[in-house]
Structure 1
Amino acid sequence: MQHMSKGVSRMFRRSFVPFLLAAVAMPAFAQEAAPQSDMDTIIVTGRAAGSEMRKAEASFAITTIDQQSLKVAPPISTADLFRRVPGFWVEGSGGEGSNNVRSRGIPTDGYSSVGLHENGIPVQYDGALGYLNPDQSFRIDDTIARVEAVRGGPASIFAPNAPGGVVNFITRKGTDTPDGAGSVRYTFTDTTAHRVDAWYGREIAPNVGLFVGGFYRQGDGMRDMGFTAEKGGQIRATLNYDDGVNSATLDVRHMDDRTPFYLPVPLTFDADGGIKQVSGFDALNDTLAGSNNKLVSIKNVGGPYEFDLTEGSHTKLTVITFEAKMRIMDGVRFETRNRYRTSDILRNALFPTGNVDTIANYQASLLSQAKAGGFSTATGIRLTYADDGTAVPSNANGNGLLVQGNLLSVSVPLDEMISDNRITADIANHALAVGVSYAHSQYRFDRYMGTTLLDVRGNARRVDATAVNASGVAVGRVTDNGFLRYGSLFDNVGMNTDSVAVYGGDEWQITPQIRVDAAARYEKLSFNGLVAGKTTVNLGDPTTLADNSVTTFSGAFTNVDESFSGFGWTLGANWQFQPNMGVFARYTDTFRLPSPGEWNGNPTRTDMAKVPIKMGEVGFKYGSEMLSLFVTGFWTKFERLTLTDWYFDNASNSYKSRIAIAGSETFGVEAEAMFRPFEWGDLAVALTWQDPQYKNFKYTDSAGKVWDFSGNQLMRVPKLGLRVTPGVNLFDDRLRAEAVIEHYTKRYPDIANTQVLPAYTLVGLNLRGQVTENIALGFNVSNLFNKLGLTEGNPRAGSFISGDLGAQYFLARPDFGRVIRASATVTF
């Protein structure tokens, strides 16, 4: 299959690209013009007032991504789109879901501090529930009309759990195309993936629109999994009414989609200390997960758990949204946004953990375990493959290495209801808003895991370790079917949550050039539920150590009943001294309330509290046909943050945790610019420079050593992120071609800053050509030169102090290798 995909890639290079260039030389046909200055774009994100506001007038930093940009460079995932926004550091190497986003030096992972919204309503109220990132519940397709991204500023006042910002995906509606319009797009990827996106919308009665759209796809995945790893899609249906004064929309979205979750891969160093691939393992295209561990029985109390790796991250979700805006009287409107979701989300993955080490070193360690486990006459360890019993050679796969891997299954069913209601009023020079939101959710968290021993290759095989005496006779088994430990992790949680927030704001236009805005939010979070107690049992097989300590339900539950509240406010001002030029300043004193997910594995914890957050920013914006420029200086300070270091202990084959309370402070500059020196050419730049540091962070490790992490660079966040996109529009704007150059400076995978993830640069290409009035061709290449860019280290080796420090081999997660996509779109 891999050879086939490479052949198809060559076919595209030889035939598709010349065809694309030839096609655009045909007679001119109308198509959307290349984007000009977006200063006049009307924005809806980051504010509660009902009056219109141009992007040029905003007193906060906001990035807008229009439909044409989405067509030229369709993002592979939600995280991939976030990379276009300055201020965000994005780790998109996990695939289409479960990625990490950090904004302006905010030291939390996942989407815990960045809101992911759809039409102004959270996709998921709390993005930090644990193994349930909002991007697992959302997919970008051609039903998206545009995107607005707000960093910092008022985001945390008008949206929950969003001190870092809000990214709002705004969908198409039937009234957008009164006479009817739609498209069908087919995309082929050289990873042997096929995808169809389609939509159609029209007005079915005066001011009444109907819209349907979605996608379906199937493919082998961004890395070679050895089986069909991507399969599924989503469909959306929307009925809306809009007469220019009153509006109402009913939207239903259903998703049934599964994608792989990609995890770290083994790496090593060359003679000069540079990072390189391990022999026999392609770090850009291979993954330890694969067909050998596709269907595996994990022994458990009462019967085996059937682990299915082909499920990957499987989301089954239905979302029903109703929103309306109604005029009460001149200048006064009522707005309501309501969303109900029911979902069943499963994440099955192979998590590499422990040390990547030589077979000889592993044999010595396993021998010690065998003797300590009761096989006292053992003098050696014999290694065989679990699937066929053949011997593991000392130089297996050309590297002679082994690694541990956790087969982890997590199920998080979630039912959630969100209602956000506000009244807006335009009185004299004031745009006022007051609102209340309520969210209720019920979720379960079920987790089970077994720890295996693996060789190091693409699609790794499980390895069995048998203890033998001096005569070579087996005296016991350290493993069983390749498992070092069954039941190395177990959780069972049921939780109910309730959140109530009251907010209000005023935008005061003091003069035609000067506007001051202020807003505040009070929120209270309550949650209660049951967390299963845990104990370890011996399943009773005396011939193996693998079933001696199976973690399971103790028979008792611990009740969790917690509540937290917070008050935040923001004050901003905008001086628009020219229609196309202005400056703004803002100060925000806000908060992040704890997530109920923090109690999943520790129901009696008392260290969690409201996290106070202070933010300041000063910005300049300018727009003309030749140049659009937005520059923002920012400051972010976390005063009390509970940090938990979950790390995998090799000796016990179990997770352990360390907790510390610290702060952070970041100064930085964001800039985004679009320079159009010629009608046929432009240059886009998105830049973030920041100095993100931990503050007041002293930590005592298990050996009693005191570490002072104050002043260290925030984990996994680069100081400089730069994205440069030069583009040209040829053949009367019928061909758009652009290069995408991304550069990131070095980062550290641990808070101690003991291990370096080197700086790297990625290059991509995007082409879109209008062949006829109704047919367009697209061609996209990411990571053109197959650069090895490491986005994260190995969190399971310890995020406080990396357990990989000083090792010859280590685990890290690179960006994907070169991926080629070709598409054809028919509009009607």
Structure 2
Amino acid sequence: MMARPWSGRPALMIPAAFLGGSAAVVAAPQPAVAEEADVRFDIPAGDLAAALEAYGRQAGRQILFPYDAAAGRQSTRVHGAMLRRLALERLLRGSGLEIVRFDARLITLRRSPAKSARRRPARREQQLPAPLPPAPPPQDIIVTGRLGPALLTGTEASYAVSEIGQTALIGRAALSTADVFKEVPGFWVEATGGEASNNVRVRGIPTDGYSSVALLEDGLPVQYDGGLAYLNTDQSYRVDASVMRAEAIRGGPSAVFLANAPGGGLNFITRDPVADPGHELRVTASDRGLLRVDGLLAQSLNPDLGVLLAGFWRRDPGLRDPGFTADEGGQFRARAVYDDGGTRLSLDLRHLDDSVILYLPVPLALRADGSIAAIPGFDPLYDTLAGPDTRELVLQTARGPYAVDLSEGTHSRVTSLTFLGRHKLGEDAAVELQARWHKDHTLRNALFPVGSPMTAEEFVARNRASLLAAFPGSSSVAFRYAADGSPFGGGAAGNGLVMSANLLSVDLPLEEAIVDARMTAPFALGGQHGLALGGTWARTSFGFDREMGTLLLDVRGQARRLDLAAMDDRGAVTGSLTNRGFLRYGSLFDSARITAGNLALYAADEWRFAPRWRMDIGARLEQTSIRGHAAGKTLYDLGDPYTLADDAVSGSDGSRLPIRHRYSGFNWSVGLNFEAADNTGLFVRYSCSRRLPSASAFNDPARTDHGVVPITLLDAGLTMRRRHWRISAVAFYTHFDHLPFTDYRFDTASNAYVERTSIADTSTAGIEFSGSWRPSGPFSIEATATLQDPRYRNFSFTELVGEKPVTHDASGNQLVRVPRAALRLRPELDLFNGTLQLGVEFVRYSQRFADIANSQRLPAYSLVNASVAWKPNASFSLTVDAANLANSLGVTEGNPRAGSFHNSIGQGEYFFARPEFGRTVRVTMTVR
């Protein structure tokens, strides 16, 4: 849907599920007279949108309406003294719009579901579309993070919320779901993993993946627990043309209404075919070879019933070049909606079959001055270690050969069926039922680098003695390429470096059901209340089968496997440290079957106890029951006398270890909002929650360090919206008590993981800012900023130094990988009456650290992005988006497998880290 250009008048976006598209709002001073008094109106016949704006000014009311449904329609003249409602009803005759809310504070209109609107014929000169100036920043009707029956605007909310429009979603969808979070202040996003399996953190919350942030689709979780190991929520969801907008909330009531999401949530809102019929075809291509086609057909079958068909198909060689197709697949969805004004029902079927590569850390050099540089033969902006030589390999396991195909990447096959129902009980009361069933089978294959790159001579020195001792009669060792036996000779890149990497394959079947039922009702007691009572039930059953082998590789783009062989005096091979490039088969094995049952009861009240004062109170009681079993493990020697690679293969010992846990937590939140003036809101909120352990934490039944984590969050914010500008500033404080931190380090000497855990606290204080300035001319500017101080508290750990235990105190250190400052600035020019839009985006992230000891610094970096959009009419647009124009080498994370507690990489050495992608240009053509 095209966003209308700005007219210099206040405007807002209404959820598609409510109004079905863009909407305008006219703000006027609150009337001092009673509603029963007549008001004199003088509104000439003409464009309906302009007439409604004139009505808002003359009636002294704030009026919200779908702008695209009103613009271009002819209105009748309204003249004389009459009641406000009567005047509005006369103005709306034959318009296809109806009144949803009419009170002393706010009037809201929507497309009428009862009949199809017909435009009145206008004179020929009126049929020519007048140039429309660009719209101001959106002010939303909030639907996420609340259950109250009354409409709520952005300045009335007692928590931090941001709206992401379809234009931004279109640009981000070709990258990743996680990339959408970059539009929101307070979020730190590591979207360098590709389209899926990324990390999202908010307000310094020190957990990876989506373990503290929820992804929602029309208010229900895409996956009930986003913290399941290797099952990031973004793996099973893709944005397509059916998504109209998204709302992001930070902190606040998310702990009450969302499961395991103290940090917040991102709610994707799907298009309503009843209120917003239409069609769309979108084609995206890039200079890296991407081709993506999105389509949508939304059709209203009658005034109360509509259907939607949408989906996408995409093929992409990759933002980094693996030598094979990195991403391929698509999604299809069908939706039926019935809405007669009193009862609303929708049924949604979505099927995803998509493979995406997981980009992992790449080899880099650390200069003496602390700056990062490329290693000769490896371009950190465009290269990846995966390649044709590692694409299809066979692991030797205790259960037999196991094939691993890296071109599968993260292959998700997801079928999701969602039912949403709402029935009004009187004017504002309602009962709602939401249910989602989804079945997900994910195969996740990837190549994880471990340790650090080293010279071939250093690797030989570390392994020569043990290799010669294992094969008597040997006198020398030599490197050869595993694929053809040719000598290594320093490698094709000429850098003479070798490295280790884990070839990992995880099979993850999952089936889940979520049911949420609630009742909302208003009542009067010391003011106006909006009460909501509800409960959520969820059952998740999943499997976890993991196989891994460790490879020896050279260091270059599309790395090749190496063998280190022992030879006798005649040059004959007597044995090998490796086998077909594998240093160790079965370096990791796990198998588990787990079922988690969750039951939550919640209650909330939105209480307006004075004309400009509003309080939110909410509480949630949740219990989780975790049951299942995991395979016992032992080591096997597969019996090949010519290699050491199969001497210690991890596998099942045939036993089953039971898993039985039960936890409960009570969350509550209270917020206070004060409307200091029209379109000006102040709020403060305090939340206390408990993060329950994730069921997948017990894939290893021996884990005893997991428990309920108390979390405290405090917010205070200001939101102001004016004719030409808006600002939002939120100060926040988060505190975690007794959070387990695990150092899951891969030991390259034993080719096995070494694990240790420390229980500690964290605290983060900061401020989030977002704002925009849109004067009457073509220039506008938007800015977001997050300034925070994320710190560990009461954190100590012990490690062996020279075979002696040494205790380190990390209290006061900066949280790993979280920047203290994140800035985003976007100036834009809107030319030729909105036909051409030019934008540049400047991004800056301060330094971070790869480990808790803060020994490995990740330097600050900047990015420059740009976009050009040509929109000659409402039916066609062409956009060009360019990311990382300057090819900045910005590193988002280090390598956790090198040690998250303490990384001993020193200056002038080599290490692994995951940088931003190199310059990429995408072109998107949209036809509506």
Shorter-chain TM-score range: over 0.9
Tell me the equivalent position of 1:674: 772
- CA RMSD, aligned part only? 1.6
In the alignment, is the contact (CA less than 8 A) between 2:368 and 2:907 conserved in 1?
Answer: no
| Cα 1:359–1:33 shift into 2, 3 Å | farther
State yes or no: 1:812 paired with 2:913: yes
Tell me the equivalent position of 2:182: 83
In the alignment, is the contact (CA less than 8 A) between 1:73 and 1:766 conserved in 2?
Answer: no
Q: Which amino acid is 2:213 matched to?
A: V
In the alignment, is the contact (CA less than 8 A) between 1:72 and 1:767 conserved in 2?
Answer: no
Please, which of 132, 139, 144 is the counterpart of residue 243 of structure 2?
144
Tell me the equivalent position of 2:783: 685
Q: Which amino acid is 2:392 matched to?
A: L
Please, which of 827, 844, 851 is the counterpart of residue 750 of structure 1?
851
Tell me the equivalent position of 1:191: 288
Deviation at 1:573, TM superposition (A): 0.2
CA distance in 2 between counterparts of 1:238 and 1:746 reads 45
CA distance in 2 between counterparts of 1:81 and 1:130 reads 22
CA distance in 1 between counterparts of 2:518 and 2:239 reads 28
CA distance in 1 between counterparts of 2:370 and 2:390 reads 33
Please, which of 749, 752, 766 is the counterpart of residue 651 of structure 1?
749
Deviation at 1:501, TM superposition (A): 0.3
State yes or no: 1:760 paired with 2:838: no
State yes or no: 1:287 paired with 2:378: no
TM-score of the two chains, using structure 2 as the length reference: 0.84
In the alignment, is the contact (CA less than 8 A) between 1:367 and 1:379 conserved in 2?
Answer: no
Deviation at 1:794, TM superposition (A): 0.5
Tell me the equivalent position of 1:598: 697
In the alignment, is the contact (CA less than 8 A) between 1:28 and 1:732 conserved in 2?
Answer: no
Q: Which of 1 and 2 has greater Rg?
A: 2
CA distance in 1 between counterparts of 2:569 and 2:806 reads 42
CA distance in 1 between counterparts of 2:721 and 2:465 reads 69
Give the match's secondary structure for 2:815.
Answer: coil
Give the match's secondary structure for 2:274.
Answer: helix
Deviation at 1:700, TM superposition (A): 1.5
Q: Which amino acid is 2:494 matched to?
A: G
Tell me the equivalent position of 1:109: 208
Deviates further, 717-726 or 359-368: 359-368
Deviation at 1:338, TM superposition (A): 0.6
In the alignment, is the contact (CA less than 8 A) between 1:35 and 1:68 conserved in 2?
Answer: no
State yes or no: 1:510 paired with 2:609: yes
CA distance in 1 between counterparts of 2:212 and 2:817 reads 16
Give the match's secondary structure for 1:361.
Answer: helix
Please, which of 786, 789, 805 is the counterpart of residue 887 of structure 2?
786
Deviation at 1:37, TM superposition (A): 3.4
| Cα 1:362–1:607 shift into 2, 3 Å | same
Deviation at 1:488, TM superposition (A): 0.7
State yes or no: 1:493 paired with 2:586: no
CA distance in 2 between counterparts of 1:70 and 1:598 reads 33
State yes or no: 1:426 paired with 2:426: no
Deviates further, 676-685 or 345-354: 676-685
Deviation at 1:608, TM superposition (A): 1.3
The residue correspondences of 1:453-472 to structure 2 (distance < 5 A) are: 453-469=552-568, 472=571
Please, which of 298, 318, 321 is the counterpart of residue 224 of structure 1?
321
Tell me the equivalent position of 1:301: 398
Give the match's secondary structure for 1:299.
Answer: strand
In the alignment, is the contact (CA less than 8 A) between 1:647 and 1:656 conserved in 2?
Answer: yes
Deviates further, 182-191 or 750-759: 182-191
In the alignment, is the contact (CA less than 8 A) between 1:748 and 1:756 conserved in 2?
Answer: yes
Tell me the equivalent position of 1:48: 147
State yes or no: 1:257 paired with 2:358: no
State yes or no: 1:625 paired with 2:726: no
Please, which of 255, 259, 263 is the counterpart of residue 156 of structure 1?
255
Residue-by-residue CA offset, 1:323-354 (whole Å, 9 max, x unaligned): 11111334321011110000100110111112
Identical amino acids, percent of aligned pairs = 44
CA distance in 1 between counterparts of 2:862 and 2:776 reads 27
Give the match's secondary structure for 2:858.
Answer: coil
Unaligned 5+ runs, structure 2: 1-126
Please, which of 261, 267, 289 is the counterpart of residue 364 of structure 2?
267
**Higher RCO, Cα 8 Å, sep 6+:** 1
How many pairs were matched up? Answer: 796
Deviation at 1:227, TM superposition (A): 0.8
Tell me the equivalent position of 2:273: 174
| Cα 1:516–1:360 shift into 2, 3 Å | same
Q: Which amino acid is 2:781 matched to?
A: L
Deviation at 1:75, TM superposition (A): 5.4
CA distance in 2 between counterparts of 1:796 and 1:33 reads 53
State yes or no: 1:718 paired with 2:819: yes
Unaligned 5+ runs, structure 1: 1-26
In the alignment, is the contact (CA less than 8 A) between 1:32 and 1:68 conserved in 2?
Answer: no
Deviates further, 296-305 or 381-390: 296-305
Tell me the equivalent position of 1:701: 799
CA distance in 2 between counterparts of 1:773 and 1:127 reads 38
Tell me the equivalent position of 2:576: 477
Deviation at 1:109, TM superposition (A): 0.5
Deviation at 1:302, TM superposition (A): 4.0
In the alignment, is the contact (CA less than 8 A) between 2:536 and 2:601 conserved in 1?
Answer: yes
In the alignment, is the contact (CA less than 8 A) between 1:522 and 1:565 conserved in 2?
Answer: yes
Please, which of 681, 685, 697 is the counterpart of residue 582 of structure 1?
681
Please, which of 510, 515, 519 is the counterpart of residue 414 of structure 1?
510
In the alignment, is the contact (CA less than 8 A) between 1:386 and 1:464 conserved in 2?
Answer: yes
Give the match's secondary structure for 1:597.
Answer: helix
Residue-by-residue CA offset, 1:681-735 (whole Å, 9 max, x unaligned): 2111110000000001111124411111100000000000011111111110011
Please, which of 616, 620, 641 is the counterpart of residue 521 of structure 1?
620
Deviation at 1:300, TM superposition (A): 1.5
Residue-by-residue CA offset, 1:88-123 (whole Å, 9 max, x unaligned): 000000001110011101010100000111100001
Q: Which amino acid is 1:491 matched to?
A: D
Tell me the equivalent position of 1:446: 545
Q: Which amino acid is 2:144 matched to?
A: T
Deviation at 1:378, TM superposition (A): 3.9
Residue-by-residue CA offset, 1:252-295 (whole Å, 9 max, x unaligned): 10000001000000000345442100000000000000111111
CA distance in 2 between counterparts of 1:405 and 1:297 reads 15
CA distance in 2 between counterparts of 1:37 and 1:740 reads 17
The residue correspondences of 1:721-732 to structure 2 (distance < 5 A) are: 721-732=822-833
Deviation at 1:582, TM superposition (A): 1.6
CA distance in 1 between counterparts of 2:724 and 2:342 reads 35
Give the match's secondary structure for 1:552.
Answer: strand
Please, which of 501, 524, 538 is the counterpart of residue 405 of structure 1?
501
Deviates further, 797-806 or 104-113: 797-806
Tell me the equivalent position of 2:24: none
State yes or no: 1:612 paired with 2:705: no
Give the match's secondary structure for 1:323.
Answer: strand
Deviation at 1:375, TM superposition (A): 2.5
Deviates further, 321-330 or 448-457: 321-330
CA distance in 2 between counterparts of 1:423 and 1:32 reads 42
Tell me the equivalent position of 2:839: 738
CA distance in 1 between counterparts of 2:425 and 2:799 reads 62
Deviates further, 324-333 or 565-574: 324-333
Please, which of 340, 354, 358 is the counterpart of residue 455 of structure 2?
358
Give the match's secondary structure for 1:802.
Answer: coil
CA distance in 2 between counterparts of 1:252 and 1:622 reads 40
| Cα 1:51–1:814 shift into 2, 3 Å | same
Tell me the equivalent position of 2:136: 36
CA distance in 1 between counterparts of 2:132 and 2:808 reads 57
Deviation at 1:355, TM superposition (A): 2.0
Tell me the equivalent position of 2:902: 801
Deviation at 1:368, TM superposition (A): 3.4
CA distance in 2 between counterparts of 1:263 and 1:716 reads 15
TM-score of the two chains, using structure 1 as the length reference: 0.94
In the alignment, is the contact (CA less than 8 A) between 2:781 and 2:828 conserved in 1?
Answer: yes
Give the match's secondary structure for 2:610.
Answer: coil
Tell me the equivalent position of 1:555: 654
CA distance in 2 between counterparts of 1:271 and 1:445 reads 43
Q: Which amino acid is 1:394 matched to?
A: G
Tell me the equivalent position of 1:660: 758
| Cα 1:629–1:657 shift into 2, 3 Å | same
Tell me the equivalent position of 1:531: 630
